[in-house]
């Protein structure tokens, strides 16, 4: 919502927003852009403002005082995706990056590549990019706009996935797995919403699909109305990712287009999954730039790409201690990152700290998958599940997972709080003389313990 507010202000609109607890840096960023912030929610105040349009965020539901006023008044209101569609995306050529994993990194990659090729794209990134001047930019009218295609629902009055409204000229689907257990029943339910997304791609557009993901590959077989471009390590893909190698300093790989070398990449990002993100981004950006020949897009910017804050971000890089922060909150994401760290630092004790915080991770629905992913580490520290008191017996059972991990021969600890986890983690890391790699997984703040941990190990 903050980045959308900045986009609307950049387009010349007067913007006022209400919320509780708007903190820096976003609060400072909004005020510097000339956006008025109102603390809390007040229906009478909203009525006096007489806005032309009210944008209802996804966290606002029935019982919200301003929502209740909206429903009883003649005031016009829209969801965030509808605002973007009617006030921005309708005047752009949109590259929509969708999939269960990697949306933020892949969107950032596509925007960075287009900027490096002097295209002046617009973008909306759901994170803090390290290679772009900001998380959002409107770009040129009728130009290319890169946006994350979130499958989560839209608003209390619109339960469609957000990406349905994003008017994709190019829709990239990187992978599909079951997630968001609070709104989807099962994997079939998730597949259904992606199938709806496919149907809004125009005939002169493109669908860029991960050809190595069985679910994605099966889904796009139904597409007859526009070209489908497949990307992956399989030689039958249109764009092929080849010769992937990884070591302690980074990874390298080749991207081929129609069996011809497009570019060689050597960068600092970990894992084959990030290399695939790069290939999907390159194809999507390349097709947006030139539908007949995407290889006119130069790939040099990939070599210096730094990534997105909190996505496998290295916080401490000492010989005997590596500390990594990752936004991971799905079993597959945890497993892939741990595999990559094991490859990078084979001599290090691998320590995984996990906060079950998302609406899915905090539940039992994927508990066994999380256990299997975390078992790739040598030691595991679990924070209490988020909102455990509200979820009751459906809450992630940290004690049960710890018992199972110990049975598998792993060191494991279930903490009573984030502070308790920090206390035990610091004690264990400091007394261990072997090289260690500590990774924190959370899509929240992890109780603020990550900077407190890193402060205990000052870097020279």
Rounded distance, CA 326 to CA 312, Å?
Answer: 5
Q: Which CATH superfamily is domain 313-454 in?
A: Mur ligase, C-terminal domain (3.90.190.20)
Nearest to 311 by CA among 153, 439, 447, 199: 439
| Strands 122-124 and 153-155, sheet pairing | unpaired
Tens of pLDDT, residues 352-369: 999 999 888 888 888 999
Rounded to an integer, the average pLDDT of 245-258 is 93
CATH class given for the domain over 2-75:
alpha beta
Nearest to 277 by CA among 258, 310, 255, 257: 255
Beta strands in 270-419 (DSSP E): 313-317, 321-326, 349-354, 379-382, 411-414
Rounded distance, CA 125 to CA 127, Å?
Answer: 6
Weakest mean pLDDT among 70-74, 140-144, 176-180, 291-295? 176-180
Tens of pLDDT, residues 328-353: 888 988 998 999 999 989 999 999 99
Local structure of 32: helix, strand or coil: helix
Give the model's pLDDT for residue 24: 72
Rounded distance, CA 252 to CA 422, Å?
Answer: 35
Kindly provide the b/e burial profile for residues 397-431, where b requires at least 16 CB atoms within 10 angstroms of the residue's own CB: bbeebbebbeeeebebbbbeebebbbeebeebbee
Residues of the chain by 3-state class (helix, strand, coil), percent to 5 = 40, 25, 40
Looking at the structure, give the CATH architecture of the domain made up of residues 82-304.
Answer: 3-Layer(aba) Sandwich (3.40)
Rounded distance, CA 209 to CA 227, Å?
Answer: 11
Asked if residue 100 has pLDDT above 90, the reply is: no
- Confidence band for 176, pLDDT divided at 50, 70 and 90: very high
Give the model's pLDDT for residue 29: 84
Which segments of 100-160 does DSSP mark as H helices, in order?
Answer: 103-116
Measure the CA angle with vertex 284, ends 281 and 288; round to 5°: 135
In the chain, what are the domain boundaries?
A: 2-75, 82-304, 313-454
């Amino acid at each position: 919502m903050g980045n959308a507010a900045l986009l609307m202000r950049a387009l010349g609109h007067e913007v006022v927003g209400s919320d509780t607890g708007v903190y820096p840096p976003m609060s400072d960023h909004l005020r510097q852009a000339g956006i008025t912030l109102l603390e809390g929610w007040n229906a009478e105040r909203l009525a006096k403002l007489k806005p032309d349009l009210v944008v209802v965020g996804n966290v606002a539901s029935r019982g919200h005082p301003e929502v209740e006023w909206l429903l009883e008044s003649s005031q016009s209101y829209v969801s965030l995706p509808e605002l973007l569609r009617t006030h921005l995306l309708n005047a752009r050529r949109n590259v929509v990056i969708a999939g269960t994993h990697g949306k933020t990194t892949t969107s950032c990659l596509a925007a960075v590549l287009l900027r490096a090729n002097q295209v002046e794209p617009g973008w909306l990134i759901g994170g803090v990019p390290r290679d772009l001047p900001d998380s959002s930019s409107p770009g040129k009218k009728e130009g290319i706009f890169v946006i994350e295609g979130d499958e989560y629902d839209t608003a209390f009055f619109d339960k469609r996935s957000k990406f349905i409204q994003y008017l994709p000229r190019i829709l990239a689907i990187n992978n599909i797995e079951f997630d968001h257990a609070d709104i989807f029943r099962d994997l079939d339910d998730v597949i259904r919403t992606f199938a709806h997304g496919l149907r809004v791609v125009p005939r002169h557009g493109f669908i860029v699909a991960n050809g190595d993901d069985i679910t994605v590959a099966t889904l796009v077989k139904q597409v007859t109305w526009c070209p489908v471009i497949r990307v992956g390590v399989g030689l039958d893909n249109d764009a092929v990712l080849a010769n992937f190698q990884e070591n302690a300093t980074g990874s390298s790989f080749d991207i081929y287009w129609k069996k011809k070398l497009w570019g060689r990449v050597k960068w600092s990002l970990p894992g084959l999954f990030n290399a695939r993100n790069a290939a999907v981004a390159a194809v999507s950006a390349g097709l947006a730039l030139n539908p007949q020949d995407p290889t006119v897009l130069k790939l040099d910017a990939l070599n210096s790409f730094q990534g997105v804050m909190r996505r496998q971000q290295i916080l401490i890089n000492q010989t005997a201690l590596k500390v990594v922060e990752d936004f991971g909150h799905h079993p597959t994401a945890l497993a892939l990152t741990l595999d990559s760290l094991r490859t990078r630092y084979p001599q290090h004790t691998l320590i995984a700290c996990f906060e079950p915080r998302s609406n899915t991770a905090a539940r039992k629905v994927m508990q066994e998958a999380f256990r299997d992913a975390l078992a790739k580490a040598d030691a595991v520290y679990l924070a209490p599940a988020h909102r455990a008191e509200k979820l009751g017996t459906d809450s992630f059972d940290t004690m049960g997972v710890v018992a199972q991990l110990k049975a598998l021969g792993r060191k494991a600890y279930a903490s009573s709080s984030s502070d308790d986890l920090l206390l035990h983690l610091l004690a264990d890391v400091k007394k261990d003389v072997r090289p260690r790699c500590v990774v924190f997984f959370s899509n929240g703040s992890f109780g603020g313990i990550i900077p407190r941990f890193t402060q205990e190990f000052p870097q020279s």
